[in-house]
Chains A and B, each alone.
Chain A
Amino acid sequence: MLALVTDALVELAERGLVPRDLADRPLEASTPIDELGLDSLAKLNLLSELEERADVTLSESMLPGLRTLGDLAQAIARVRK
């Protein structure tokens, strides 16, 4: 599931919807979401992209407290079950 998250970030970076340098940075499970340089709209863009790719709904109540890309990947995996 981590690949789904990082692939989404790289594609959004290439389209200019999140900082372009994310396409060239190492993105790992331990990478903090807060260090990606995303503003609030970019975060919503990322969530929308992930929902499309994983065919899941990530509700508002699930998101507070997610710190890293790994946390995000696990949250998606949980709702995909």
Chain B
Amino acid sequence: MSVRAAITGLGPVSAVGSGAAEFWRALVAGESGTRGLTRFEPPRRGCAVAAEVREPAPLALDPASPRSRAVQLALAAARLALDDAALSLDGARERVGAIVGTGVGNLDLVERALADVARGVRVHPSLAFRAFPHAAVCELVREFDLRGPVATLSTGCNSGADAIGLALDWIRAGRADAVLVGGVEAELTPGFFALMSAARALAVRYNADPSRASRPFDAERDGNVPGEGAAFLVVESQAHARARGARIHATLAGYASRAAGTRAPYDPFNPVFHPEPTARALAAALDDAAIAPERVSAVSANGSSSVFYDAVEAAALASLFGARLAQVPVHSIKSMLGQTGAVTPALQVIAAALSIEHALIPPTINVDALDARCPLDLVRGEARRAPLEFVLCNATGFGGFYFSALVVGRDEAK
């Protein structure tokens, strides 16, 4: 029996809504958060769609703030998670840790600083502190007077999954009683769009129909739709959560990551599918949770609307579940939220916890015709009611260098 951690606080800040209740309502309703990009002029001929976090309510995001957008998003999400957990930090601050996963860090500040430097304008001294990737965890420490262990992980789109995995390790090892953990990504910047367009990773065919641009596993998908947001959780030892009478949404049962090793480079004309590293990560996460694949009730897919990786993921799920593949419901929240980098895995865990609580799997939107290479039982159209014991969450990092997976389970006392 593997030790699980209790998930007691949920703090999503996303393009479909912020706070667990609004986030869940929008997911179940199948509301798209992808719209025409408003933040800046999209690159010529490139992707002009994004999942922007709407302002101002309920967040006080300030474009003129010296804080990066990532830090502002992270602070808002962390506060939501702590409030949801009703966790008092008084008296035990050294036993509460904080871990932040982020792919691009504070890219908005870095881009502005580089532009200032190029124009010969003096940059503000505080940028030295605000621009580094660990700025978000430093600001969480200051905001909430945290005094326990802290870490920042940057492992691309897996960052949120790896951060949550590390939190589980800390709880299991007794390094902390509770961990404020999540992901943040403020990647809607001109530089990011230029980079990802050059890498041919973004959807370009749905600029005129932005709510339909993110279509995981659909035959007509055409690339990722970038998004932004933050998502934090409070993860605790079960003993700590029960001792303080906390509401336990779900449990964190297992985690693993696996590298791909040496492989043939990506060839746009002749893509070669290597599902094996993904399958190894998924199997290792189930091993860590000490459960057999038969006990997985649903899969929260990486499903990013990538022409290439969606097919790789489907093949990996086929190898994990074998003949049972057609009986395992799969859904992708990215159909509504776009590809929000490090945030997505944390949003997947939040959605999985709420799915288990409500016995309901949100739909995958925009799937008009399932790609024949992805023969999944994809939850489409409407949310599907189903009692759920374990939800397997899959996360793929950009470039396919390595893969992470998390297992979310029902509260063991229920």
* A residues neighboring B (CB under 8 Å): 33-34, 39-41, 43-44, 47-48, 51, 55-61, 63-67
Contacts and interface: CB of A to CB of B under 8 A. Distances in A.
B140 interface: no
Nearest to A63: B268
Contact of A63 (B198, B203, B269): B269
B284 to A, nearest CB: 28
A43 B268 contact: yes
Contact of B265 (A40, A64, A67): A40
Contacts of B156: none
23 contacts: A33-B269, A34-B269, A40-B267, A43-B267, A44-B199, A44-B268, A51-B45, A57-B45, A57-B46, A57-B204, A59-B204, A59-B205, A59-B222, A60-B200, A61-B205, A61-B222, A61-B307, A63-B269, A64-B268, A64-B269, A64-B271, A64-B307, A67-B269
A47 B200 CA distance: 9
List the 9 shortest-distance A-B pairs measured between CB atoms, nearest first. Answer: A40-B265, A57-B45, A63-B268, A60-B307, A61-B307, A57-B204, A61-B222, A59-B204, A59-B222
Nearest to A41: B265
Contacts of B200: 44, 47, 58-60
Contacts of A44: 198-200, 268
Among B267, B271, B307, max chain A CB count under 10 A is at B267
B192 interface: no
A59 B223 contact: yes
B237 to A, nearest CB: 44
B221 interface: yes
B45 A56 contact: yes
Given A33-B269, A40-B265, A61-B220, 11 more contacts: A43-B268, A44-B199, A48-B198, A51-B45, A55-B45, A57-B46, A58-B200, A60-B222, A60-B306, A61-B307, A63-B269
B308 to A, nearest CB: 7
A21 to B, nearest CB: 20
Nearest to A56: B45
A39 B221 contact: no
B266 interface: yes
B126 interface: no
A60 B308 contact: yes
Contacts of A55: 45
B146 to A, nearest CB: 42
Given A47-B200, A61-B221, A40 B266 contact: yes
B270 interface: yes
Contacts of A41: 265
Interface string B167-208: 000000000000000000000000000000011110111000
A12 to B, nearest CB: 15
A14 to B, nearest CB: 21
Contacts of B269: 33-34, 43, 63-67
A34 B45 contact: no
A47 B204 contact: no
A16 B307 CA distance: 30
Contacts of A48: 198
A59 to B, nearest CB: 5
A60 B223 contact: yes
A55 B45 CA distance: 8
Contacts of B220: 61
Contacts of B270: 34, 64
A59 B267 CA distance: 14
Nearest to B203: A59
A39 B269 CA distance: 11
Given A59-B205, A59-B222, A60-B308, A47 B268 contact: yes
Contacts of B198: 44, 48
A39 B265 contact: yes
Contacts of B308: 60
Contacts of A47: 200, 268
Interface string B210-223: 00000000001111
Interface in B292-317: 306-308
A74 to B, nearest CB: 14
A65 B271 CA distance: 9
A14 B163 CA distance: 46
A1 B265 CA distance: 28
A64 B266 CA distance: 11
A54 to B, nearest CB: 10
Nearest to B198: A48
B372 to A, nearest CB: 14
Nearest to B271: A64
